[in-house]
Amino acid sequence: MSTDLTLHQRRRKPTPDELQGIPWLRLLRPDERAHAVAELLVGDAEPGDYVCRVGRPVTYWFGVVAGLLKMSSDNAQGQTMTFTGVPPGGWFGEGTALKREPYRYNIQALRKSVVAGLPVDTFHGLLDHSIGFNRFVMNQLNERLGQFIAAREIDRMNNPDIRVARSLAALFNPVLYPGVGEILRITQQELAYLVGLSRQRVNEALTALQAQGIIRVEYGGLRVLDLAALRSSIVLSKS
């Protein structure tokens, strides 16, 4: 397993195609965009690489250009609690960057991923001068609040089908994860890691959702056919 230092050593400048996958750049004025592009770096994360870890100081505001990350923390008993996945287009840690406090969670790559980082001082500079950037961050914070309230509800659910449906719906949030679109590139094992269920139980839940016309399982991913139904968890219980 690689370390976050190794990932840091693999940092490089983003390609033009990678810049196209950063949603907030298009909201900036030309001079703001030029400054942000000059400061942005990307790293090629291997599965298991940590992007940030509990207790480490914040140095960048991070986003996913390609791949899939998970956000988690460990309790006093050493058990890992996964909060959410972060698919393409997702940026995270704005609250930590705003307060310049140590991370309270781990972010780890579930597969090969391209992770972008904006230096925290540049992040604050854009907050101070860019209306477009401010609106993006405000929308992020608002959506994130709703996401974590929903995550607490999911933790209390005993119906595995509903847990899978709600967790999938969170990954299809068009504000937080605009790079996903209608197809989420994810394996059943990766989804099992995020939901906290076995791969076999996730497979059963996906089969039930597909039978109801809510999703379609495709090669290498999932397509949402009825996002409203997925969000409201209108699924048939097997219990």
Q: How do residues 4-18 score in pLDDT, each as one tens digit?
A: 456 777 889 999 999
Number of neighbouring beta carbons within 10 Å of residue 6: 14
**Helix (H, G, I), strand (E, B), or coil: what is residue 234?**
coil
Alpha helices per DSSP H over the chain: 4-9, 16-20, 30-39, 94-99, 120-129, 131-155, 160-171, 188-195, 199-211, 227-232
**Measured between alpha carbons, how far is 230 from 169 in angstroms, rounded to an integer?**
6
Q: What are the contacts of 156-161 at 24+ separation with CB within 8 A?
A: 159/235, 159/237, 159/239, 160/197, 160/201, 160/202, 160/204, 160/205, 161/204, 161/205, 161/208, 161/209, 161/233, 161/235, 161/236, 161/237, 161/238
What's the fold here for domain 4-150? Answer: Jelly Rolls (2.60.120)
d(CA 72, CA 79): 10
Give this prediction's pTM.
Answer: 0.83
Of 211, 181, 177, 182, residue with least CA distance to 194: 177
Average pLDDT of the chain? 87
Q: What is the pLDDT of residue 227?
A: 87
As a whole number of Å, the end-to-end CA separation of the chain is 40
Domain parsing of the chain, residue ranges: 4-150, 158-232
Q: For 41-61, how does the pLDDT look when each residue is reduced to its tens digit (9 = 90+)?
A: 999 999 999 999 999 999 999
Quote the tokens at residue 101.
């406090």
Cα 74 from Cα 95, distance rounded (Å): 20
Nearest to residue 82, comparing CAs of 191, 233, 225, 217? Answer: 191
- The residue written with tokens 């597969």 in the block is 111
**Model pLDDT for residues 87-126, shown as the tens digit of each residue:** 999 999 999 999 999 999 999 999 999 999 999 999 999 9
CATH of 158-232, one of 3.40.50.12500, 1.10.10.10, 3.40.50.300, 3.30.70.20: 1.10.10.10
